[in-house]
Amino acid sequence: MWRFKKGGYGLTSVRKRIGVISFVILSLVALAFPAHAIRCSEWTELTADDRNQTLRDLIRELLDSHKAAQWTSINKSRIEQCLIQHTTEIEIDFNEVCTQGLKAPVDAFDEILLNYARSCAQITR
């Protein structure tokens, strides 16, 4: 039987540890499954207008994400403008990934957007 005493392993200490562990687990889940994750089955069912809007939403979410928070030395509004100018090419790349069917990686859309964002960052410097 555990005896709770002040300090070391007291009830307050256990609660704090549980809180920290819960926070870490939730953070890892959030990083593993981004909110903007979209699958090919969803993408291919969208109309052209819905694809365009979804792509703009994905761009906005990318620029608001933890990945983009590291980009302190670049102008994010210029990156966004550049990405929006390349929506046709990004859409073509998304469609191409979806032709792979079940072999398409789940994070393929994220990788495509990140590659375009990196390219745009180089262009806008």
Q: Please report, for the chain, the start and end positions of each structural domain, with discontinuous segments joined by +.
A: 1-32, 40-123
> How many Cβ atoms from other residues are within 10 Å of residue 100's Cβ?
11
Task: With CA atoms as reference, report the closest residue to 37 among 111, 115, 116, 106.
Answer: 106
- Tell me the per-residue pLDDT of 7-42, one tens digit each, with 9 for 90 and over: 555 656 655 655 444 433 433 333 444 445 678 888
Give the whole-angstrom CA distance, residue 93 versus residue 99: 10
- For position 29, what pLDDT does the model report? 37
Give the whole-angstrom CA distance, residue 35 versus residue 100: 23
> How many Cβ atoms from other residues are within 10 Å of residue 85's Cβ?
11
Query: pTM for the complete prediction?
Result: 0.65
Give the whole-angstrom CA distance, residue 21 versus residue 27: 10
Give the whole-angstrom CA distance, residue 24 versus residue 20: 6
Share of the chain above pLDDT 90, in %: 30
Residue 23 identity (one-letter amino acid) = F
